[in-house]
Amino acid sequence: MTVHESVLDAIGDTPLVRLRRLGEGLRPKVYAKLEFQNIGGSVKDRAALSMIRAAERDGLLAPGGTVVEGTSGNTGIGLALVAAHLGYRAVVFAPAATAAEKIRLLRAYGAEVHLVSDFVPRSHPGHLANRAAAFAAATPGAWLAQQYDNPANPAAHEVSTGPEIWRDTAGRVTHFVASVGTGGTISGTARFLKHASGGSVQVIAADPDHSTYGGGDGGAKYVEGAGHALHPDSTEDIWPEAFDIALVDRYFRITDKESILTARRAAREEGLLIGGTSGTALAAALRLAEELDEGNTVVVIIPDSGRNYLSTYFDDVWLTSTGFCASEAAAGTVGALLPDASAGVQLLATGLTVSAAARELTRRGVPADEPAFLALDRGRSFGTVHPREVTAAVTVRSLAAVGQSDPLAADEPAALHGIPFSLVGTGTAVADLALEAGQLVAVLVDGRIAGTVVRSQLRPLALSES
């Protein structure tokens, strides 16, 4: 039995597990490195310990000091547990959309948690990183971890994760797959494996479909901890210094739906309860394995456990409410009312005035009662959109009514005069909806607004199903 003298000694040396059922029919061996077996439950424990120890060595963090960071959860949890053991105060700034389980874990470790707006331009003072930096600057004895740019982040994986994989595969690993958040895990591990193999190990970055790392538009996503979102009002797309892009040989873009459903498959087919980011990496690894032969060995990093996401990815009610469900157009569901579940909706730039929005919809020939959504401007006039990027819904008729009731309002932002709407998943049963006459329903398909219906459409179907 292994005996540790400190809880910190239980960080690292995580197992490799061969995926027998998910890998059935695939020619290469596929191994998952179970980073959720770190003492704090994620791969970020390694970076957290490395960054705090480096800060202590460099005189940046003294006894009684405060550890500060902006994080979507896992790095904060790692920092909080290390801080608790070493006697530091921990203050974490987390996105408002962070899974509730992670927030509870942070507080359980004694961290002070501040929830902030999670989708504003990088230069905005309310941005996660800026809020954390301002707090650290104003707090005596505080040290800001800066995981995205801290060299101790990838260094942790160069001295531990990479050597463990090389040792446990007896140097037979040929492909390494990991998601990219800060870039620390993939960069540090890849650096060691590239060196140990003489450059032969191929490094694959698994990236959420909308992430700019893999060429996406930077739009909002549902998978926490992976990818790189970009607010369209940002002046530049700043990538982390911890991410060494030269080490990546290939990117696999994975949709939110594929990530979530792969995580659910892992639980039900392998007995591995893994998180959404893990689902992203695993989906990429399985796709990659389809291309390879028996002479290859694939190792994929499983960053964290699904225990952090029981209220979301593993909750069937959440899955239905967000449109991540298999029976999208089943009889009696809202999805059955959409002529094309992937067609999309009219989109307008959120900054348009009432008069400008009305002119644009008229120019497009949009019918008076067809809704349009004011959303962050990504240069598209039609398509699907993440609801977090939407500020309001309008119609030509509703905008005209604003101008008629108050001519001065024509120059006000259209977003101030939106019409009410509800969000429902495409698999939601019509009989379960309780809407007022004429109320607009925005329908989510795979988590994105892809169509609309109104109460008058729902009533006949509801009656016919009763």
Q: What is the pLDDT of residue 235?
A: 82
pLDDT over 90 at 458, yes or no: no
CA distances from 115 to 7, 106, 378, 432 (A): 28, 12, 26, 32
The mean per-residue pLDDT over the stretch 276-282 comes to: 97
> Is domain 7-38+155-309 given the CATH code 3.40.50.1100 in the classification?
yes
Residue pair 167/53 in contact by the 8 Å Cβ criterion: no
Residue holding tokens 């990538």? 239
Query: Are 210 and 216 within 8 A, CB to CB?
Result: yes
Mean pLDDT computed over 335-355: 85
Q: With beta carbons less than 8 A apart as the criterion, state whether 422 and 442 touch.
A: yes
Please give the backbone phi and psi of residue 251, each rounded to the nearest 5 degrees, phi first.
-115, 140
Residue 183 gets the label, from left (phi > 0), alpha (psi -120 to 50) or beta, of left
Handedness of CA 238, 150, 66, 12 (dihedral sign): positive
Between 465 and 450, where is the model more confident? 450
Query: Residue type at 99?
Result: A
Residue range 195-235, pLDDT digits in tens: 999 999 999 999 999 999 999 999 999 998 899 999 998 88
Could you report the per-residue pLDDT of 354-379, keeping only the tens digit for each? 999 999 999 999 999 999 999 999 99
Do 89 and 61 contact (CB within 8 A), yes or no?
no
CA distances to 323, 365, 400 from 369, in Å = 24, 12, 11
Most confident of the following: 229-243, 273-287, 413-427: 273-287
pLDDT at 466: 35
For residue 168, how many other CB atoms are within 10 A of its CB?
17
Beta strand pairing call for 382-383 and 345-349: antiparallel
Residue 126 is predicted with a pLDDT of: 86
Give residue 455's pLDDT: 63
Average pLDDT, the chain: 92
Sorted by where each begins, the domain ranges of the chain are 7-38+155-309, 44-144, 324-465
What are the b/e assignments for 234-262, b being 16+ CB within 10 Å? beeeeebbbbbeebbeebbbbbbbbbbbb
pLDDT band, very low/low/confident/very high, at 465 (cuts 50, 70, 90): very low
Distance (Å, rounded) from C-alpha 149 to C-alpha 102?
A: 23
What was the pLDDT predicted at 143? 98
pLDDT of residue 334: 84
The reported pLDDT for the residue numbered 341 is 56
Positive or negative: CA dihedral 302, 225, 147, 288 = positive
Alpha helices of 330-417 — where are they, by DSSP H?
A: 354-364, 396-405
The residue type of 230 is: L
For the chain, give the percent of residues with pLDDT over 70. 94
pLDDT digits (tens, 9 = 90+) for 439-452: 799 999 999 999 99
For the chain, give the percent of residues with pLDDT over 90. 79
pLDDT attached to residue 99: 84
More confident residue, 127 or 66: 66
3 state DSSP class of 321: helix
What confidence score (pLDDT) does residue 161 get?
Answer: 98
Active site residues: 44
Contact call for residues 447 and 426 (beta carbons, < 8 A): no
If pLDDT is split at 50, 70 and 90, which confidence band does 326 have? low
Domains 7-38+155-309 and 44-144 share a fold: yes
Is pLDDT larger for residue 110 or for residue 433? 110
pLDDT at 328 over 60: no
**CATH: 3.40.640.10, 3.40.50.1100, 3.40.50.620, 2.40.110.10. Which one for 44-144?**
3.40.50.1100
The yes-or-no verdict on residue 321 having pLDDT over 80 is: yes
Superfamily of domain 324-465: CBS-domain (3.10.580.10)
Mean predicted confidence (pLDDT) in 225-252 = 93
